[in-house]
Structure 1
Amino acid sequence: MSTRPEPAAARSAARRRAGLLAATEPVRAAASAGALALSYPLLRGAPRGEPHAVLVLPGLLASDTSTVTLRRWVRGLGYPVVGWELGRNRGPTKEITEALPKLVARLAEQHGGPVSVIGQSLGGIYARRLALRVPRLVRQVVSLGSPFGLAGRPTDGTPGARAYDRYRHLHSVAGRSRGGPGGSLPVPSTAVYSPWDGVVDWRACRQEPGPRAENVGVHASHLGMGHDPAVLWLVADRLAQTREGWRPFTPPARLRLLYTRDDED
């Protein structure tokens, strides 16, 4: 006799787990901040590469304030980094869809080359769209807990999807690229996800792996990704990649436990 749960029981267990993860998001985000302070000595040896412009995009309902730690980290590595300076992110409004390509173009001109774009949650979806719209201006994309796999599909009832729906009436359809942000990109891309994400479905945050496309799992909460030690090291490693010699991420031995294994997903 099979001991596997019936579909209804499995769905109920999944809902309970999702509810628990959502309820504990703030506590787990705070834990990541504490872990950052404790692990700072290990992070001091993070890789550094050639200086180039970096743009950091915030998540839904967040502003540049939410990415201060991440930008401070990137700046400390020697890269000129900026936030988007567009206020609170209420979704793909007409202002945002028109302003972001211009911002990337300005940064590329100022710093003499393509821009690395790091986006948290919804910001990562914007980053992937930028890579499709202006690929010659984007050096690489790093998305942090970004459910780009749901773009163009019905919402899935997660807390992040419900929040997005509340602002849907403000969103513009302008600037959407053929293929959508969930498809392959013409630039290197790293999709960071966490099986313990309490805001979005982590499975929608992964892409089809390829020669220049990868997925990296971490133990972070959704809200804590921007200051999680594993994410910060990964960001340093990705920014240090050369334009011609991009290679998939390999965690250093001393930090390997900060990343998930395939059998944990």
Structure 2
Amino acid sequence: MKNNANHNGIKHYILFFLYICCISCQGQEYDKDILNLKELDLGLNADRFYKNSTKRENVKLLSGKQYVEKDTITEYDHDWNGDRNKIFAIQYRVVGYSPADVVAQFGNIHFSRVESLVDDKGNLMLINAVTKASKDDILKFITALKKEYPNPEVTEASSGYTNNQIITWKDKDRIIKLSTNARLDFSNPHNILSEADKKEIQEIEKNRITESTLFICNSTYEKKLLGNLHSGNWMNFK
């Protein structure tokens, strides 16, 4: 009887272990589960992660779901001297969302959308996550990250008329960057703008300058991507 009890106990343990493994293998689903970016698995299968968000029915007005487009970026798209047939990256780009959405979090900060870049084999290279968190919350977030990852690098980056503060932390297998404190700067003497032009730019950029963008990069791809992305939220990965 004792041997049978032990056997049944081991059997139940194995079944429970297999059940947990099956759940883990299914992975998270974008716009359904809140992704914990602090524990981001760099082995994330982006195709599976975004599979229900790339469906055309999510484009419908008031669908309540985010819509993600999957695009192939060739070397030619990236650099007009590049090969049209060689893949530089595959992009999962969020084109339909609400700023009130919460799809991810890292510490005290919640994010309304998460985009990803993978290589031609589907390996995760880089993600960006966007938040409209308050300045106070961003400062608390930075303070917490400094405690966990000491001695960050702080730089300034510009794109068009927008300047951003870039804070960079390095961990064992990843680069964490925060692009924040965006502000418009019309002081360049080479840019002669009328007051009407300035107002128009301020109106166009008013939403973007209230956003902060968190990047998490697989260290393997840092050299390939750093400062080499020129569109969308990616351009602040510098």
TM-score range normalised by the length of the shorter chain: under 0.3
Q: Using CA pairs below 8 Å that are at least 6 residues apart, which structure has the higher relative contact order?
A: 1
TM (norm. structure 1) is 0.24
TM (norm. structure 2) is 0.26
